[in-house]
């Protein structure tokens, strides 16, 4: 951590040159201190151009999340949420998983995640100003056993949000990836607290690619895409606010009815509904079949050579054939 890095990045967010001298005067520190703070940004993977005689500059202008704008976009339900926007964290999911007493509906968003998580210890790639990454803590009266299907429910909130912004090509891939043109736009990671009987809590982590630099996008080890490629301009504050509003609706509905009340809507967005797929199992085997449906608890039903088989999300990956 370096306390000056983000204040400097906020000034550089305009995408213009700022001289080391001006920055040093503004923050009442030496130029060497500015240089150190910029160096720290680089260790976070943030590219800062440094040109002798002109100063420092980001490759392009970027926007930071603004708590007030996010709350405005949530609308009437804003009072439900406790929103915190942090500059640099290891993982927003980890913060909420570790804070035992966080209030219901606490949302932690981060400008930079240094160890963003995917499922099963995988990494989620994000980039300052180019990704939306946040986690939402939601408490349930029911036990963790009743939360199967929750990660699919969260996908429905993402669909309502993206389609609401006119991104009608966004689809889901079981259990909960968001795809555009078969490429991954957003990921969801849910971690549970509490016991099987209840009460319980879910930490719902979401990462959405806004406009990742091309080299970052191409270095992800599966086809990935960002919202910028859709040419529908979306402000990230609005995206987060509207998504939180839809999450509140979907999660309240889920608490009352479970996934069943959302199943038809989920199926209508499934990119692989009725399509041939390959299910990659934890033991390394692949099973091929055709997707038939999802069950009330979010289990995927696939017609295979051995008949109808049921796949539960935990350790299994679906891939198109």
Lay out the site mask for ligand ATP across 252-291 (x = CB under 6 A, - = otherwise). ----------------------------------------
By CB under 6 A, the count of residues binding ligand ATP is: 16
Given 118, 194, 198, 261, the residue binding ligand ATP (CB under 6 A): 118
**Stretch of 54-62, 86-94, 119-127, 301-309 contacting ligand ATP, by CB under 6 A:** 119-127
Our finding on whether 297 is near ligand ATP (CB under 6 A) is no
Torsion of CA 157, 160, 165, 170, to 10 degrees: 90
User: Cβ closer to ligand ATP: 7 or 213?
Assistant: 213
Binding residues among 298-317 for ligand ATP as defined by CB under 6 A:
317
User: Cα Rg for the chain, rounded, in angstroms?
Assistant: 21
Residues 6 or more apart whose Cβ sits within 8 Å of residue 273? 267, 291, 293
Given 68, 141, 222, 256, the residue binding ligand ATP (CB under 6 A): 222
Residue 16, helix vs strand vs coil: coil
Our finding on whether 124 is near ligand ATP (CB under 6 A) is yes
Lay out the site mask for ligand ATP across 64-103 (x = CB under 6 A, - = otherwise). ----------------------------------------
**Across the chain, where does the E strand assignment appear?**
49-51, 55-57, 82-89, 106-113, 131-140, 171-173, 177-180, 183-194, 200-209, 276-280, 286-294, 300-304, 307-311, 317-320
User: Cβ closer to ligand ATP: 8 or 188?
Assistant: 188
CB-facing half-sphere around the CA of 253: CA atoms within 13 A: 18
User: Cβ closer to ligand ATP: 82 or 122?
Assistant: 122
How far is Cα 64 from Cα 67, in angstroms, rounded to an integer? 10
Given 170, 206, 224, 248, the residue binding ligand ATP (CB under 6 A): 224
Our finding on whether 154 is near ligand ATP (CB under 6 A) is no
Our finding on whether 161 is near ligand ATP (CB under 6 A) is no
Could you say which DSSP state residue 191 is in?
Answer: E
Given 71, 97, 125, 158, the residue binding ligand ATP (CB under 6 A): 125
How far is Cα 170 from Cα 146, in angstroms, rounded to an integer? 28
User: Cβ closer to ligand ATP: 94 or 245?
Assistant: 94
Given 221, 264, 284, 285, the residue binding ligand ATP (CB under 6 A): 221
CB-facing half-sphere around the CA of 236: CA atoms within 13 A: 25
Nearest to 321 by CA among 284, 267, 274, 264: 274
Could you say which DSSP state residue 216 is in?
Answer: H
Query: Tokens standing for 221?
Result: 């080890």
List interacting residues with ligand ATP (CB under 6 A): 118-119, 122-125, 177, 184, 187, 207, 209, 220-222, 224, 317
């Amino acid at each position: 951590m370096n306390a000056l890095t983000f204040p400097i990045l906020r000034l550089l967010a305009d995408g213009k040159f700022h001289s080391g001298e001006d920055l040093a005067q503004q923050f009442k520190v030496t130029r060497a201190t500015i240089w150190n703070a910029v160096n720290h940004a680089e260790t976070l993977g943030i590219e800062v151009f440094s040109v002798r005689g002109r100063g420092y500059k980001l490759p392009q202008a970027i926007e930071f999340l603004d708590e007030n704008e996010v709350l405005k976009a949530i609308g009437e339900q804003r009072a439900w949420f406790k929103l915190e926007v942090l500059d640099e964290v290891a993982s927003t999911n980890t913060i909420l998983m570790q804070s035992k007493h966080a209030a219901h509906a606490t949302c932690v968003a981060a400008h930079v995640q240094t160890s963003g998580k995917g499922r099963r210890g995988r990494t989620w790639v994000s980039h300052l100003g180019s990704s939306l990454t946040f986690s939402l803590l939601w408490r349930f009266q029911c036990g963790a056993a009743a939360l199967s299907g929750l990660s699919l429910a969260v996908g429905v909130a993402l669909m309502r949000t993206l389609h609401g912004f006119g991104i009608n090509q966004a689809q889901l891939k079981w259990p909960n990836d968001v795809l555009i043109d078969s490429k991954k736009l957003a990921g969801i990671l849910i971690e549970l607290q509490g016991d099987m009987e209840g009460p319980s809590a879910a930490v719902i982590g979401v990462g959405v690619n806004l406009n990742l630099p091309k080299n970052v996008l191409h270095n992800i080890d599966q086809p990935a895409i960002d919202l910028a490629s859709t040419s529908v301009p979306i402000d990230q504050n609005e995206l987060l606010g509207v998504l939180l509003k839809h999450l509140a609706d979907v999660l309240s509905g889920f608490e009352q009815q479970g996934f069943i009340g959302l199943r038809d809507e989920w199926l209508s967005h499934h990119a692989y509904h009725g399509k041939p797929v390959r299910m990659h199992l934890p033991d390394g085997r692949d099973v091929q079949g055709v997707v038939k449906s999802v069950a009330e608890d979010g289990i995927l039903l696939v017609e295979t050579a051995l008949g109808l088989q049921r796949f539960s999300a935990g350790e299994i990956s679906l891939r198109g054939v």
